[in-house]
Chains A and B, each alone.
Chain A
Amino acid sequence: QKEVEQNSGPLSVPEGAIASLNCTYSDRGSQSFFWYRQYSGKSPELIMSIYSNGDKEDGRFTAQLNKASQYVSLLIRDSQPSDSATYLCAVPPRAGAGNMLTFGGGTRLMVKP
């Protein structure tokens, strides 16, 4: 099993809809979880971090963490065409890995006007 798994997509949603992006991870001891957005040809940009079970909201973005089920989700409300990008989930690879992160392969999101 890969350490961090994401559906590669593309996930296509209409403008104004909720986009739901999912990520599963293998290390039960992981404590930190991050979502990055990457536009085509650009570098990843941090958009959310979450450390505790439950939801964390920031504007149109909500991160959801369920440690028992080992998944973390990103919801994007009122999706806009400018949200079209690849979204990367990042998790520490294992306990004691210091400051390393393992990145999932990313989910490509397409928001259609």
Chain B
Amino acid sequence: DVKVTQSSRYLVKRTGEKVFLECVQDMDHENMFWYRQDPGLGLRLIYFSYDVKMKEKGDIPEGYSVSREKKERFSLILESASTNQTSMYLCASSPTSGGANEQYFGPGTRLTVT
């Protein structure tokens, strides 16, 4: 079974703090994704990576950065957390073979910024 893990289930941070969210997958997938999910707005793509050290902006990259130094690990960084970044953050991974493939999600991190 594909396993995607995230470093924290719940996180509370203060405005202005630098926040690191870690994601690790154990299936040797090339592609990894960071989403946030908010009521009424659905899943929105923040960043994705299709290879080590490669990254692409998604729909809402402002205020975020990412790092992928190893194939299995994809980190999301909030450089200076703000209250409007309070959300559920979901990491996903998928293999590469032809067209789009199914994505497998981690358990999510519910981040609260106060």
B81 to chain A, nearest CB (A): 22
A69 within 8 A of B: no
Number of A-B residue pairs with CB-CB distance less than 8 Å in the complex they form: 51
B103 contacts A101, CB within 8 Å? yes
B105 contacts A45, CB within 8 Å? yes
Contact of B102 among A34, A88, A97, A103 (CB under 8 A): A34
**How far is A71 from B56 in the complex, measured between Cα atoms in Å?**
29
**How far is A101 from B59 in the complex, measured between Cα atoms in Å?**
12
Interface string of A97-108 (1 = CB under 8 A from B): 111110111100
Interface string of A24-53 (1 = CB under 8 A from B): 000000011010000000111110010000
**How far is A105 from B39 in the complex, measured between Cα atoms in Å?**
9
B43 contacts A88, CB within 8 Å? yes
Contact of A98 among B43, B50, B103, B106 (CB under 8 A): B50
Q: Which of B9-25 contact A (CB under 8 A)?
A: none
Contact of B108 among A43, A88, A97, A100 (CB under 8 A): A43
- Which chain A positions have C-beta within 8 A of B90? 43-44
> Which residue of B is nearest A104, CB measured?
B42
B35 to chain A, nearest CB (A): 8
Choose, from B62-70, B71-79, B93-101, the stretch at the interface: B93-101
Q: Hey, which bits of chain B sit against chain A, CB under 8 A?
A: 30-31, 33, 42-43, 45, 48, 50, 58, 90, 94, 96, 99-108
Q: Given A43-B105, A99-B50, A99-B103, 9 more contacts at CB 8 Å?
A: A31-B100, A32-B100, A42-B108, A98-B31, A99-B30, A99-B101, A100-B33, A100-B45, A105-B42
